[in-house]
Structure 1
Amino acid sequence: MSFILMLEAVNLSAGFDHPLFENVSLRLQSGEFVGVYGPSGAGKTTFGRTLAGLHKPATGVVNVDGRTVPSKGFHPVQYLHQNPQLAMNPRWRVEQIVSEAMVPSRELADCIGVASDWLKRYPHELSGGQLQRVSVLRALSGKPRFLIADEISASLDPISQAQLWQTLKRIAEQESIGVLVISHDKALLTRVCSSIIQIG
């Protein structure tokens, strides 16, 4: 039996000059898909970044398995950006980008659909769908326990969108990775997730 980890947000509030959301609580188990739904500007992205340790909460806490995640070293929660090119160094080849945390196996790259010839290219030489797969490969290479998927398929065509989610669902099930899916598309969340919370 695999050990079940829990990502938990308790009464979380965060924002910039003023809170974008207040007193939001969440529990996400390893292997589970939970959706976050809300209108633009409601703070969905800030919520996801706060869970991944990229934004400091104003109030509340984020725990993994009952413990506060350390600010340095390996972070068990990885954030996937809506626009992957903004999270990549344009001067680096894809091979260097995906190996930033740990060199991924060829088996994992094949499973995600990252072709070997992409590795020698620069980010601007790949399509949006290809870059998002590269982003997923980089996030998974470090063996995270949880992923925050922030509108990661919003700019993809329906076929590419379906392929990306099928791949992520399969890997998350095999590796017991919990996935928080942030989207304004409630139909997508209903298809992909076991439960949905609303912000805003």
Structure 2
Amino acid sequence: MPRLLLASNSPRRKQLLADLGLTYEVRLKEVDETYPEHLQRAEVAEYLAAHKASAYRDDLQPGDVLLTADTIVCLDEHVLNKPTDADDAVRMLTQLQGRAHDVYTGVCLLTGEGQKVVFSDQTRVHFRSLTEAEIRFYVEKHKPFDKAGAYGAQDWIGLVAVTRLEGSYFTVMGLPVHRVYKELEKLGFGVAAT
């Protein structure tokens, strides 16, 4: 029986896969999320997704499909990963306010037979200017320390600060479901396969 395995504890990724009508199991391992400094933008997200998948390679059985993903926020050429603490989150959000930035989510699908598909999707996000009080309120109330760029588009800050998106909202949430579904269909998953 083919199994879809999600190597992520992200509530957003879990919900998006469930909303697609897919049955999956969660698998978790600690994986180092550093990347070579010469990589830029989409390359970083794809590298991290593939790097995460490689940690599970020996655990996969024939018929398994492992899904890993990584989301990064880029302001100009600077990658904003997950903040280290509240001050770092405030610093990141202060940089983003009143500007447009790019969100990349890289995805890796790895089969038990060794087939690997790696891709990424990009969305441009426009933020309105925020006050320091708004930024601090968000960081204190929502504690966005597990989110690239220190924010979640589905959170309060997304409701009040995101003025426009160019691309998929779900890519910003952490999983470009339109691309993921298409690739999973090729591997035998999807509503037509059930």
Fold in common (TM above 0.5): no
Q: Quick one: higher RCO (CA 8 Å, sep 6+), 1 or 2?
A: 1
TM-score (norm 1): 0.29
